Amino acid sequence: MIEISFGKLVLLALVALIVLGPEKLPHAARTAGALLRRVRTGWDSVRAEVERELQVEEIRRQAQEAAARAEAAQAELDETLRKMRPAGGAATMSPPAPEIQPVVVDAATATATATPTATADATSAKEAPHGGA
């Protein structure tokens, strides 16, 4: 800003007093003060607006950087998942489901019997004592 020393300010006041006279000087000083206040308020407004725009740009830049980091992390995660999956394309690593044996119902005796595999399992379970061995 413009540097005005006290001596220059006194000289300016004397010149204004001589040129304007004692009747018009107070009105001119008020007008000059109001004009200076308007200029300063306008300047502060412009400066605040520029600062807000700079902050908005900084926030946008940070958001873009965060989005880029998130996309990179997602790509890394996808690549890791692709490496972990077997080449056959199986999506899950769960054990195979047990086979379900069909139940055959004998209409003449109205008893249900399982297939020979299930019957053999049931028979071996009956023969084993409860204590183990």
What are the residue ranges spanned by the domains of the chain?
Answer: 9-53, 56-85
Q: Which H helix or E strand runs over 123? A: helix 116-127
**pLDDT per position as a tens digit, 78-99:** 999 999 886 555 555 555 555 6
Strands (E), the chain: 103-106, 111-114
Fold of the domain spanning 9-53: 1.20.5
Strand partners, 124: none
Tens of pLDDT, residue by residue over 43-57, are 999 999 999 999 999
Q: How much is the pLDDT for 116?
A: 47
- Per the document, the length of the chain is 133
CA–CA separation, 30 and 51 (whole Å): 31
Give the bridge partners for 111, in sequence order: 106
Q: Is the pLDDT of residue 58 over 90?
A: yes
